[in-house]
Amino acid sequence: MADASGSISLRAENYESMVKGFALQQFVMKELLMENSSSAWIETYYRETATELTGGKAAAVKGVPRLASFPSGQVTWTKLSSYIEKYGMEGVISWEDHMLNNIDVIARTLLRISRAVAYAVDTQIYSVLSAGAGQSVTITAGNEWDSATIANRDPIYDILTGKKLLEIQNFNPDSNGYLVLSPLDYVNLLNNSKVINNPTFKSADVVTNGNVGRICGLTIKKSNVVTADEALIVIAKECGTWKSAAGLTTHTIEDKGIKYTIRAYEMGVAQLTTPNAVCKISNTTITA
């Protein structure tokens, strides 16, 4: 059916150049690591043995006899190496789509592709921290943060236990300590009356870099890269290093009259140099 002058179907539509409605998450795991530059393909570091030195039964540190030789103590290190990895993605947009689409397809593609690379980097950093955590708190079945028995939920106790384990290893979680959560467990945490009524709990005035508040002296960091039913207490900067060979970079490459190639890439590797600066809190059963 033909449209007459003034018909609504003939009226111009004013589209936003940026598509609304995306809830794109913040990518923030790098904040937990020290960042150093790298110019080598293989990055080697030495992890010092955390066990306190002792003189042994026959030569104890305490009670050295008169004129006796002192007990011998030897510090040991483990040599570890990791390889720099490249993270990258690209998308192709036709020249016609760029010229004629209602959406700014180049801007949106730049944003989404660069975030795909950042997400992959964040996922790897979290995986390294989680897999190598030197301390652990295991929540027994029936006592999870979303337990069917509300009285059994006690995240404050679990968090304080994790902090205690770090303090036993001579780390101070009240200085640059983070509680890293998934969105699921963040809800489970805040839905607990013991948390809301705890005097140490404070929601963030402004949410930045995934930091959404504080509890028990720890900054709460929320991210989708965190495994559900798992949380980490991390001493930021002390736990590890991100060795960066190339920071996150994006390019728009124009092939005039034909296409645009949107490319994003980064090169680096996450190293857990101090496992005992990380404590994992986990369930014995999966409830998510």
For strand 218-222 and strand 177-181, is the pairing parallel, antiparallel, or unpaired?
parallel
CA gap 109, 90 in Å, rounded? 9
Residue identified by tokens 């006796």 is: 68
Quote the mean pLDDT of the chain: 84
Just give the CATH number of 84-283.
3.30.2320.10
> Which of 100-109, 137-146, 192-201 shows the lowest mean pLDDT across its residues?
100-109
CB atoms within 10 A of CB 106: 17
**pLDDT tens figures, 273-288:** 999 999 999 986 544 4
State what percent of residues in the chain have pLDDT above 90. Answer: 50
Between CA 251 and CA 9 the distance in angstroms is: 38
Name which of 168, 174, 171, 158 is nearest 229 in CA terms: 158
Low-confidence winner among 8-12, 31-35, 252-256 (lowest mean pLDDT): 8-12
Chain centroid to CA 181: how far? 9
- Cβ proximity of 200 and 214 under 8 Å: yes
39 Cβ contact partners less than 8 Å away, ≥ 6 residues apart: 245
d(CA 258, CA 237): 46
How far, CA to CA in Å, does 60 sit from each of 51, 75, 239? 16, 16, 32
For 47, counting Cβ atoms within 10 Å of its Cβ (0-12 exposed, 13-18 middle, 19+ buried), the class is middle
Flag whether pLDDT at 7 surpasses 60.
no
Domain residues of the chain, as ranges? Answer: 84-283
Tokens standing for residue 184: 């699921």
Annotate 49-83 with b (16+ C-beta within 10 A) or e (fewer): eeeeeeeeeeeeeeeeeeeeeeeeeeeeeeeeeee
pTM of the model: 0.80
d(CA 271, CA 142): 35
Place of tokens 């990055």: 43
- For residue 14, is pLDDT > 50? no
Edge-to-edge strands, sheet with 259-271: 34-37, 241-255, 259-271, 85-94
Q: For residue 128, what pLDDT is reported?
A: 96
pLDDT digits (tens, 9 = 90+) for 116-156: 998 999 999 999 999 999 999 999 999 999 999 999 999 99
Residues 190-211: what's their mean pLDDT? 83
